[in-house]
Amino acid sequence: MLVIRRRAGESILIGNSIEIQVAEIASGRVKLSIAAPPEVPVLRKEVALTRDQNLAAARGVWLGGLTELAARVSGRH
Amino acid sequence: MARFVTKHFGIVEFQPDTVIEFPSGLPGFEQETRFLPMEQPGTKPLLFLQSLDRPDLCFITLPVRVVDPDYRLAVSAEDLRLLELPEDRQPRIGTEVLCLTIISVAEERHPTANLLAPVVVNLRTRRAVQAIAPDSGYSHQHPLFRAHQEDSCSSFADAPGSRS
């Protein structure tokens, strides 16, 4: 993995068409400006994780085992 | 009463004012905005979120505090605005909001709960968001049962008393 130090106002380029600029650094957070072509999706990682998890959850509706699952969830209290 | 034909539950009848509305959908399901919460005999405390836009789409959820009794909400100001709730504090689970976690179950894998992104429903307006909380420290794949319980996962029939 490539690790680069940047100051506020500085940028990195990914390929010829993606630019990520450090817009602001304050109290443990950085604000990034991202310029990318419209066909390149830019997502916060946690949104992508939740999207993938939602897609998996929607695929796996598994009604057969749910009575047992519910009993097991209730039984632990 | 309204009616809707679902893939998993057949025809369901419901009062229109029980419908939960996600104004911006859920990640991966941005077009699906209307869901019906349903309990089924024998599967409490599971709560099914049945899409009223897609008959085949149904999420299995649990009240978040069934999974983690100490669960703490960390809803962003933006999501609180969407929910039409005060932005200066976290809403109270049970009185102001219903807070659900989406469960992933598949026969070959152990069930997990997405505690990173709980579904938060304003109980007064029934508007909802999947409130992703990146700074919360919660996992998007929180195991529903602890590791030592998973050894017996293939037989769900073990007595509750056998796992302390």
| Contact between chains at B160 and A75 (C-beta distance less than 8 A) | yes
| Section A48-69 average pLDDT | 86
pLDDT for residue A76: 56
| Contact between chains at B60 and A50 (C-beta distance less than 8 A) | no
Q: Is B42 left (phi over 0), alpha (psi -120 to 50) or beta?
A: left
Give the list of residues 6+ apart from residue B113 with CB closer than 8 angstroms, or none.
Answer: B62, B64, B67, B101, B102, B103, B104, B142, B144
| Contact between chains at B59 and A54 (C-beta distance less than 8 A) | yes
C-alpha B27/C-alpha B129 separation (Å) is 10
The verdict on ipTM greater than 0.95 is no
Specify the higher pLDDT residue, B108 or B33: B33
B2-145, what's its fold?
BH3618-like (2.30.290)
Specify the higher pLDDT residue, B33 or A72: B33
**Domain map of chain A by residue range?**
1-40, 43-77
Which of B42, B114, B145 has its CB closest to that of A53? B114
Q: SS3 for chain B, per residue?
A: CEEEEECCCEEEEECHHHCEECCCCECCECCCCEEEEECCCCCCCCEEEEECCCCCCEEEEEEHHHHCCCCCCCCCHHHHHHCCCCCCCCCCECCCEEEEEEEEEECCEEEEECCCCCEEEECCCCEEEECCCCCCCCCCCEECCCHHHHCCCCCCCCCHHHCC
- Residue among B95, B86, B103, B2 at smallest CA distance from B49: B103
Give the list of residues 6+ apart from residue B9 with CB closer than 8 angstroms, or none.
Answer: B38, B40, B48, B50, B58
Which of B26, B140, B157 has its CB closest to that of A49? B140
pLDDT band at B131 (very low <50, low <70, confident <90, very high): very high
Give pTM, 2 decimals. 0.84
Question: What percent of chain B is predicted at pLDDT more than 90?
Answer: 79
pLDDT for residue A62: 64
**Domain map of chain B by residue range?**
2-145
| Section B48-62 average pLDDT | 95
B56 to chain A: closest CA residue: A58
| Contact between chains at B59 and A62 (C-beta distance less than 8 A) | no
| Contact between chains at A57 and B130 (C-beta distance less than 8 A) | no
Q: Which two tokens stand for residue B127?
A: 């508007």
A29 to chain B: closest CA residue: B135
| Section B24-35 average pLDDT | 96
pLDDT for residue B153: 47
Q: What residues are paired with A22 via a beta bridge?
A: A32
Give the list of residues 6+ apart from residue B21 with CB closer than 8 angstroms, or none.
Answer: B33, B34, B35, B126, B127, B128
Question: Which residues from B are below 8 Å from A56, CB to CB?
Answer: 104, 106
Q: Which pLDDT tens digit goes with each residue over A9-19?
A: 999 999 999 99
A55 to chain B: closest CA residue: B28
| Contact between chains at B156 and A68 (C-beta distance less than 8 A) | yes
pLDDT band at B106 (very low <50, low <70, confident <90, very high): confident
